[in-house]
Amino acid sequence: MEFDTFVRHKLPVVGIIGNDACWTQIAREQVPHFKSAVACDLDYTHYEEAAKALGTQSLFLDSDMDVKQVREALAQVMARSRAEKQSLVVNVLIGKTNFREGSISV
């Protein structure tokens, strides 16, 4: 609920969510150890909509957009966020990867 505070104080904070529909940081150790992804698998939730309900600007990015479209969309909302002193949440759908496999999360 930090974004509620950012909105009330007109702080142009930008939050970027890499949304892979999973608690991957937990799953990468839990699944090999327990052979179960229980409580790790999520939906591709529209977190930007929840943030919008708190009064932030929001943007949803997925694989249907090419790099040029992403850059233009980000530039627009970030400029508006700064100009209007509003916070911004960007929800980016990303694929799963084995990046950082074997690393320890604390």
Please, what is the end-to-end C-alpha distance for the chain in angstroms?
A: 23
CA dihedral 46, 3, 74, 41 (to 10 degrees): -30
Tens of pLDDT, residues 27-44: 777 777 888 878 888 899
pLDDT in tens, 62-93: 988 889 999 999 999 999 999 999 999 999 99
Residue 100 has pLDDT above 70, yes or no: no
DSSP state of 41: B
Residue 5's pLDDT is: 96
Rounded to whole angstroms, the Cα distance separating 32 from 38 reads 12
| Residue at 68: amino acid letter | K
Nearest to 28 by CA among 106, 81, 104: 104
Distance CA 35, CA 11 (A): 43
In the chain, the domains with their CATH numbers are: 2-93 (3.40.50.970)
